[in-house]
Amino acid sequence: MTITDIKIRRTYQDSRLRALVSITIDGELAIHDIKVIEGPERLFVAMPSRRDDNGVFRDIAHPITSEARQRIEGGILNAYHEHLAAQQEAGGS
């Protein structure tokens, strides 16, 4: 599995939700509405989910292995930090 594209769709300032992200895997599968969330100790990535009939949120798509989760989370968080740095540079010029 290779992440071939990461798009930071939107960023937020005033909530725990910091960004909405889309990724493309192997140039063939897109996953949208991945969230970057500010946790108590660090940023983390939450896969897209929806609420079931019992009010419980269930992931719509998610990595099966811990290695895949680490690749996805690491790639998304790196892209998020690069996006923020680019925004600061553009705003600081």
Q: Are the beta carbons of 76 and 7 closer than 8 angstroms?
A: no
* pLDDT computed for residue 90 by the predictor: 83
Residue whose entry in the numeric block shows the structure tokens 């599995």: 1
Neighbours of 13 (CB within 10 A): 5
User: Which residues, given as ranges, of the chain have pLDDT below 70?
Assistant: 92-93
Supply the pLDDT for residue 75.
97
Which residue type sits at 83?
A: H
pTM of full prediction above 0.85: yes
Per-residue confidence (pLDDT) for residue 67, from 0 to 100: 96
Going through 39-77 in order, the beta strands assigned E by DSSP cover 43-46, 49-51, 57-59
